[in-house]
Structure 1
Amino acid sequence: MTYIVTLTPSQIAKNEPDWLITQRFTKALPTELDTSPEGTRLAFLVCDNRAGSSVGNGRKEFSERGRFIILVGSVLRINTVGPVDRSITIEPMRSCPEAVPLDGPEGILAALPSAHRAAVEQALSGSAGYCGTETWQALRAALRENHPELTPYIDWLLAQLNPVVFRPDDAADRAWQEQKDAADSLTRLTDFPHSSLAAWDRPLNRDDTYLAGLVPEPFEQSLIDHDVRAGLGNMSQLFDGWRRLSDVLCDIHVLEDSTGRRLEIVNVNATPVENRLGTDMIYYHHPTHSFVLVQYKRLDPRGKEYRVDKQLRGQMDRLEKVSQLSREPARPHEWRLARDSCFLKFAYWRDSATSSSDLAHGMYLPLSYARVLLDDDCTRGERGGRIISYERVGRYLVSSEFTDLVKLGMIGTVGTSVEQLRDLGLQRAREGYSVVMGLETSEETPRARTTRVRNRSSKNRPKVTSYSPPTAQEPLADVPDS
């Protein structure tokens, strides 16, 4: 279904400030409306101002009579409110670059064949309606022809609504699957919307990074110009040089909110996918000079177990050296629950798993705890080998628990520099790992960070901009470590 939600100017004026922040709207459906999951699951929000009412907020479609498409989004889910009632949750939503008129000789309805025009009018006759596949195709063609500026928004939403199915027997798909989970984990750790990374298509080069396949989120050219003029920040220049290295594939994506808090995601591959050792996720919180590293290990999806070998033990030894970058805490916000800053995530995905925003199920094991497990009889197999599985590991962290500990600054290194992060990331990539690094910068104090993390309300959340910066032409600048 392609849904059309019709609202009055006063309803839009009341809700739009919240929509711009939450990018979400839940709309009750008429009881007789079909809620089949088939079709595009796009949603268009229409302002009906045929009565000529005035709201006085300066928007053109509120001062001119007629109906206008003003927002477009995707139907995240269909909700069951009661035994009969239904509603749809539209998320994410984006404002159209310009309001799209439906009526009049220049309107979209005039560009549709009569049968499809009647179907759209029927969908517009109530507060919510839908049109079928053939009508949607005609509507899409008319929008592309008459309002090409809307096409990138539609393509971005459709990429999210038609996720790629990862093939478990393909090394490239497995690598991208792990890198996707790492990138999505970074948005959880930083409270940025994961929808910004949800539109993805499989890259042509099997060795490419996951970020190379992102379908870019459209936003105003003025915002792009501003970011380019701002030089993209000193931190971007720190990693931008990797994109000019001959032996490295590197892609960068930036999420930034209106308060200036910023997450730069850097995805690096330096070896052919068939020789890849797995994926590392590294999250660095610049205000506290602290990072955590998570190395991915795949559990067998059926038995949900991992057979330990010499390679894993050697990798754990190298992670031990990474942990030694940390120093002793000297201030209250530097105290940690333990010295562990490196973790193993034993994760599993279902066969032919469709790409989604959900994180992979798995066990997060601190490195020191993993060593204790491998020295205990609980992990000893029948033939003397060591096995990691849910049945054999009595205690572990799940994604939500690990995320909360990181966000509250309870785990991670102490006193590590961003230069150490840069060196570590490139070293790990050249050792054979896919590396997904997240660098968070902000003016937040540790107390302000804790307050934000514990505030679960969606109200007053800052607006987020998502973009992939162009390659800088300037030489790398020094980055202060304070």
Structure 2
Amino acid sequence: MTYIVTLSPDQLDDNEDDWLVSERFTKGLPTGLDTSDTGTRLALLVCDNRARPAKKRRNGFAEHGRFITWMGSVQQFNTVGPVDRSITIQPMRRCPKPVPLDGPDGILASLPSTHRAHMERALSESAGHCGMTTWQALQEALLRRHPELARYIDWLLAHLDPLVFNVEDAADRAWQEQKDAAQSLTRVTDFPNSALSAWGRPASRDEPYLAGLIPDPVENSLIDHDVRVGLGGEGSLFDDWRQRNDVRCDIHVLEDSTGRRLEVVNVNATPVERRLGTDMIYYHHPTHSFVLVQYKRLHSRSKEYRVNKQLLDQMDRLEQVSRLSSEPVRSHEWRLSQDACFLKFAHWRNGAASSTELAHGMYIPLSYARVLLEDDCTLGPKGGRIFSYERAAGYLVGAEFAELVKLGRVGTVGTSIEQLRDFGLQRAREGYSVVLGFETSEETPRARATRVRQRSAKKRPKVISYSPPAPQQPSSDAPGS
């Protein structure tokens, strides 16, 4: 089904500011409306301006009539009561300009009479829907008159019809882990994960996950204006990595209207068949602190991980990270422990589609992993060591780990940007896929904690998402890289 939600101008005005931030709208459905999980599951939000005086409104149109103003993906069907149903539309994007449905130049006039009747039926109530054949006719008419909407439709459909990863394939496994790492970064920074979720397989199996990112369909002119006027337009700290011959690096940036910025850097230096796994590194520039998560895959059926020499060697190398850390001096530098590195033992079901949810798994601090390896609880029946949910009762789940990172309770102390850059390149050269998040802002530690504890999406600032252009002139490796 393709859902049609009709709103009055006042309803649109009341909701638009919230939608620009939350990207989410829940709408009740008329009793008896079919909610079969079929078809596109797109949603078109229509403003009915026929009863209003023909005057210019802040939503951008003056004429009488009905206009498509927003588009979104129906991600969730909700049961409100024994009979009532609702849909949750998320993410949502505002159309570059309102698309008229009525009049000789409107979209409805260009539809065959049968499909026009189906659309009128869907528009007759506050929420309705049309079938696949009517949607196809509507889509053709929309793109014929408004080709700029193709980017919006493709981006939304990528959220609704994600690719299925094959856990038997090395490239798919690597992309699956990198996707989870990228979405972990948006979780610990409170940026919307929709910006990094629309994706298609890159041309080469060796390319990073971000190489296949389907860009957010926001207007380039809007990005340029917001970055230049509201957000400062800083260059990427890792631009020189994209000019190197020994690594492949892709960058994506999220910025909000307060100036807070997350630069996501995805880099690798080896063919996928020789990769050792994925590292997520999150660096919080205001406190000069970073956290590392190394991914390990639990067996998809037994949910176990059998410890081997490779893991023990990798743990030895991760313990060296603590040497980068200084002793805490100020209150915000205090940590719960010296652990800055975690192992995420994650599992994915084979054949499961990519989604915006993080992979299920255990976050285990490195020091706790050492304790477990000396405890009989991890001793296997043949003398080896095994990590599993039952054997590691003190693990963290994703929400617990994210909260500790958000509040600055874990991570290094006094780590410089130069150390971060050196460490990130070192991990890539050692054979890891690295997903690095570099957050900058003017927030004080107290302001950061206040924001984290503020749960209302309505108070969050507007966010833009874009891939910065690559440097024009090739150059040799930058000093200190």
Corresponding position of 1:315:
314
Q: Tell me the distance in 2 between the aligned counterparts of 1:326 and 1:463.
A: 34
Residue of structure 2 equivalent to 1:126: 125
Residue 324 of structure 1 aligns to a residue whose secondary structure is: helix
Q: Deviations over 1:80-137 (max 9, x none)?
A: 0001000111111111101100111111011111111111111111111100000101
- Aligned residue runs from structure 1 range 177-216, under 5 A: 177-216=176-215
| 2:146 alignment partner AA | H
Conserved? CA contact 2:240–2:477, under 8 Å: no
| Equivalent in the alignment of 2:4 | 4
The one-letter code sitting in structure 2 at the alignment partner of 1:27 is K
- Answer with 143-152 or 274-283: which moved more: 143-152
Equivalent position SS for 1:314: helix
1:218, distance to aligned residue in structure 2 (A): 1.2
- Is the 8 Å Cα contact of residues 252 and 264 (structure 2) preserved in structure 1? yes
In structure 1, what is the Cα distance between the partners aligned to 2:151 and 2:160?
14
Is the 1:144–1:150 Cα contact (8 Å) retained in structure 2?
yes
Residue 77 of structure 1 corresponds to which residue in structure 2?
Answer: 76
The residue number in structure 2 matching 1:367 is: 366
User: What's the counterpart of residue 428 of structure 2?
Assistant: 429
Give the 3-state SS of the residue equivalent to 1:327 in structure 2. coil
- Residue 56 of structure 1 deviates from its aligned partner by 6.0
Helix, strand or coil at the partner of 1:322: helix
Secondary structure of the structure 1 residue equivalent to 2:262: strand
Provide the TM-score with structure 1 as the length reference.
0.96
Q: 1:387: Cα distance to partner?
A: 0.9
The 2-side partners of 1:241 and 1:235 are apart by 14
Give aligned pairs, total. Answer: 478
Residues 189 and 228 of structure 1: CA distance in aligned 2, closer, same or farther (over 3 Å): closer
Q: Give the direction of change, closer, same or farther, for the CA distance of 1:429–1:349 in structure 2 (3 Å limit).
A: same
Which amino acid is 1:25 matched to? F
Are 2:33 and 1:33 equivalent residues in the alignment?
yes
Distance between the aligned counterparts of 2:60 and 2:444, measured in 1? 42
- Aligned counterparts of 1:28 and 1:211: Cα–Cα separation in 2: 36
**How big is the shift at 1:460?**
1.9
1:415 and 1:371 map into 2 onto residues whose CA distance is 25
**Residue 238 of structure 1 contacts residue 476 of structure 1 at CA under 8 Å; is this kept in 2?**
no
- Over the matched positions of the two proteins, sequence identity in percent amounts to 71
**Are the structure 2 counterparts of residues 245 and 379 from structure 1 closer, same or farther at C-alpha, using a change threshold of 3 Å?**
same
1:57 counterpart = 2:57: yes
Alpha carbons of structure 1 residues 373 and 81: separation in structure 2 relative to 1, 3 Å: same
Equivalence for 2:14: 14
Distance 2:321 2:294 in 1: 12
For 1:336-415, list aligned pairs within 5 A: 336-415=335-414
* 1:42 aligned onto 2:42: yes
Post-superposition CA distance 1:330-371 (Å, at most 9, x none): 111000000000111111111112101111111111111111
What residue is the counterpart of 2:248 in the other structure? Answer: 249
**Alpha-carbon offset, residue 391 of structure 1:** 1.7
Deviation digits for residues 424-462 of structure 1 (CA, Å, limit 9, x no counterpart): 111100100000000000000000000000011112210
Map 1:74-473; keep pairs closer than 5 Å: 74-226=73-225, 236-473=235-472
Residue 227 of structure 1 deviates from its aligned partner by 6.8
Q: How far has the Cα of 1:476 moved from its partner?
A: 9.8
Q: Which runs of 5+ in 1 are unaligned?
A: none
CA gap of 1:13–1:237, structure 2 versus 1, over 3 A, is closer
SS of 2:204's equivalent in the other structure is coil
In the aligned structure 2, how far is the partner of 1:227 from the partner of 1:240?
A: 21
Cα separation, 2, equivalents of 1:94 and 1:340: 40
Offset from partner CA, 1:259-294 (integer Å, 9 cap, x none): 010000000011011110000000000000000000
Runs of 4 or more, structure 1, over 6 Å off, are 232-235, 474-479
Q: Which moved more, 1:195-204 or 1:423-432?
A: 195-204
Deviation at 1:52, TM superposition (A): 3.0
Assess, with a 3 A threshold, how the Cα gap between structure 1 residues 248 and 235 changes in structure 2: closer, same or farther: farther
* Cα distance between partner residues in 1 of 2:456 and 2:227: 33
Cα distance, 1:236 vs structure 2: 4.3
Query: Could you say what secondary structure the match of 2:238 adopts?
Result: helix
Give, in whole Å, the separation in 2 of the partners of 1:414 and 1:340: 11
TM-aligned CA deviation for residue 58 of structure 1: 3.6
Over residues 395-436 of structure 1, what are the superposed CA-to-partner deviations in whole Å (9 max), with x where a residue is unaligned?
111111110001011000000011111111111001000000
Q: Structure 1 residues 301 and 233 mapped into 2: Cα distance closer, same or farther (>3 Å)? A: farther
Cα drift, residue 60 of structure 1: 4.1
Deviation track 1:189-213 (CA, whole Å, cap 9, x = no partner) reads: 0000111111111112101101111
TM-score computed with the length of structure 2 as normaliser: 0.96
Q: Does the C-alpha gap of structure 1 residues 123 and 320 become closer, same or farther in structure 2, counting only changes over 3 Å?
A: same
Matched position secondary structure for 1:142: helix
Distance 1:59 1:194, change over 3 A: closer
Q: 1:8 to 1:237 in 2, by over 3 A?
A: closer
Letter of the 1:15 counterpart: N
CA distance in 2, matches of 1:403, 1:433: 22
Query: Shift in Å at residue 223 of structure 1?
Result: 2.9
Change (3 A) 1:369 1:55: farther
Kindly state the Cα deviation for residue 465 of structure 1 after the two structures are TM-superposed.
0.1
Contact 2:188–2:405, Cα closer than 8 Å, also in 1: yes
Going from structure 1 to structure 2, the CA distance change for 1:456 and 1:54 (only over 3 Å counts) comes to farther
CA distance in 1, matches of 2:173, 2:300: 13
State the AA in 2 paired with 1:431: E
Is contact 1:263-1:440 (8 Å) kept?
yes
Q: CA RMSD in A?
A: 1.9
One-letter identity of the residue aligned with 2:46: V
